[in-house]
């Protein structure tokens, strides 16, 4: 392991359980996930009788993950659910049951090797009361670091005031929040294969979600909230100069926002999953060098293949390297007092 990558924390990795419990709820047609056999070391994630994605044992086998982490010079992974499993479209009681199961599975993986894994759970944001209850169980009983949430809940952006009590609870309880694109907008504008969803639609979806956290006043109102945007915050770094200019030029917009957009943006964390050194430099400039963390999207096809090598290519100072390797991630996770 190189001096640069010693202690490297990857904040963006995903988990799919090896299996799901049978559905025992009241809704016969509920899109409850299940697993079906596939080729060797793989299983199909089934939703409503159709294959959503075929995943490998990297998603649930701690031994396999640890071997990959050693090969990639990763000391710690932050585990979060495959985003589709957040399942905001389930009925609230079903969503709460699935989130509880996911959280228990991730907590079990963390307990198996606590020096190498941290865990983020899921909450049923389609029901605010259940979401806050599930968050409390995740961080207080299961000792997870926080939760992953989607960019919207059935079309309602996460910056909507409706969700403010959830974020207030997360801030009060010191829970990390990781925002990931989910069923992005703009799919009708893409020309090409379905895989372009992750490539081209995720950045726009992520940028709009991040902007909603700023324009709603949420991040300025909750300075203790530790919230991170995946995929480099998507298009947000390019939207911010426009938002800042409009805030200065349009009185009605300035009156509607609690403060400067560029100041609010620096309360957000972002991962560096943008596949390009120049773009990572922009993230450090916009959000601050103390807010950018390493993320790989392990173990999916779009993952960054060499997180440590990507860091080496940046030409950072020793302190800047240390920040991106682990200091920023430890602060976001609450591992640093």
Per-residue model confidence as pLDDT tens digits over 62-111: 999 999 999 999 999 999 999 999 999 999 999 999 999 999 999 999 99
Kindly state whether residue 263 falls inside one of the protein's structural domains. Answer: yes
Determine the average pLDDT of the residues in 22-31: 92
> Residues 115-142: pLDDT tens digits?
999 999 999 999 999 999 999 999 999 9
Distance CA 125, CA 122 (A): 9
**Count of domains for the chain:** 1
Domain that holds residue 95: 9-14+78-333
With pLDDT > 90 as the criterion, what percentage of the chain qualifies? Answer: 96
| pLDDT over 80 (residue 1) | no
pLDDT at 227 (0 to 100): 98
Displacement of CA 140 from its chain's centroid (Å): 20
Distance CA 197, CA 313 (A): 28
46 forms bridges with which residues in the sheet? 34, 51
pLDDT at 2 (0 to 100): 47
Distance CA 115, CA 312 (A): 24
> Residues 212-250: pLDDT tens digits?
999 999 999 999 999 999 999 999 999 999 999 999 999
pLDDT at 336 (0 to 100): 82
Kindly state whether residue 64 falls inside one of the protein's structural domains. Answer: no
The domain that holds 147 is classified in CATH as 3.20.20.140
- Smallest CA-to-CA distance from 303 within 62, 93, 68 is with 68
102: CB partners within 8 A, 6+ apart: 15, 17, 81, 85, 121, 122
Average confidence score pLDDT of the chain: 96
Kindly state whether residue 58 falls inside one of the protein's structural domains. Answer: no
Kindly state whether residue 1 falls inside one of the protein's structural domains. Answer: no
Kindly state whether residue 241 falls inside one of the protein's structural domains. Answer: yes
pLDDT at 4 (0 to 100): 57
Pick from 22-26, 124-128, 289-293: least confident: 22-26
Kindly state whether residue 140 falls inside one of the protein's structural domains. Answer: yes
Confidence of residue 280 (pLDDT cuts 50, 70, 90): very high
Kindly state whether residue 45 falls inside one of the protein's structural domains. Answer: no
Kindly state whether residue 220 falls inside one of the protein's structural domains. Answer: yes
Distance CA 217, CA 254 (A): 12
């Amino acid at each position: 392991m190189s001096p640069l990558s010693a202690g490297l924390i990857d904040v963006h990795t995903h988990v799919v359980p090896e299996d799901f419990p049978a559905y025992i709820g009241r809704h016969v047609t509920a899109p409850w996930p299940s697993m079906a056999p596939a080729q060797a070391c793989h299983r199909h994630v089934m939703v409503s009788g159709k294959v959503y994605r075929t995943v490998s044992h990297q998603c649930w086998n701690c031994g396999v993950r640890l071997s990959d982490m050693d090969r990639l010079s990763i000391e710690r992974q932050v585990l979060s659910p495959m985003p589709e499993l957040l399942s905001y479209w389930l009925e609230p009681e079903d969503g709460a049951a699935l989130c509880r199961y996911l959280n228990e599975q991730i907590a079990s993986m963390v307990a198996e090797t606590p020096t190498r894994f941290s865990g983020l759970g899921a909450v049923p944001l389609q029901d605010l009361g259940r979401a806050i209850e599930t968050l409390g169980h995740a961080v207080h009983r299961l000792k997870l670091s926080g939760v992953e949430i989607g960019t919207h809940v059935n079309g309602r952006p996460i910056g909507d005031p409706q969700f403010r009590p959830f974020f207030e609870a997360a801030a009060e309880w010191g829970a990390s929040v990781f925002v990931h694109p989910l069923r992005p907008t703009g799919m009708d504008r893409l020309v090409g294969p379905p895989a372009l969803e992750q490539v081209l639609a995720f950045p726009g979806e992520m940028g709009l979600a991040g902007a909603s956290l700023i324009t709603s006043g949420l991040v300025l109102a909750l300075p203790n909230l530790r919230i991170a945007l995946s995929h480099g915050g998507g298009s947000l770094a390019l939207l911010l100069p426009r938002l800042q200019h409009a805030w200065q030029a349009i009185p009605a917009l300035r009156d509607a926002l609690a403060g400067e957009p560029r100041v609010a943006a620096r309360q957000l964390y972002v991962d560096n999953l943008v596949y390009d050194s120049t773009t990572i430099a922009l993230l450090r400039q916009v959000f601050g060098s103390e807010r950018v963390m390493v993320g790989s999207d392990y173990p999916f096809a779009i993952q960054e293949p060499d997180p440590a090598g990507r860091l080496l290519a940046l030409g950072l100072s020793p302190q800047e390297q240390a920040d991106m390797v682990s200091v920023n991630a430890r602060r976001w996770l609450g591992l640093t007092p």
